[in-house]
Structure 1
Amino acid sequence: MLDLNKPVVLDKDIMAFLEISQPTLYRWTKERGFPKAVIRGRRPSKHVKAWLEERGLI
């Protein structure tokens, strides 16, 4: 479950929510400006939420 109310969101939860693979998530980070992980496998929720909202995904 993607809980954007916590300080960080796990990559596995992002991948499940978007129905994408790990290589796709890494490619989006590199090529599409998806927020980078601050700690391995954890990304700032506020940046992830903003990215998703900008694209109409939430």
Structure 2
Amino acid sequence: MDDEQKWLLAQLDQQAKDSTSFIERALFVATKELVIEQSKRIEQHEGELDGRIWNPDKW
């Protein structure tokens, strides 16, 4: 996870903490979960791409 994603997660945490509305808080928490899931998927796809590029059978 890069610095921008960490910053975004911290901002979402702060917004959720400061929010007085349940709906807003739920939105911030759901957005944070989405960012985390996206980060995982990006990392997995990068790993898959690296694996396919370095596969000696494909050379």
Q: Which has the higher helix share?
A: 2
Higher strand share: 1
Q: Return the index of the structure with the highest Cα Rg.
A: 2
So what's the TM-score if we normalise by structure 2?
0.29
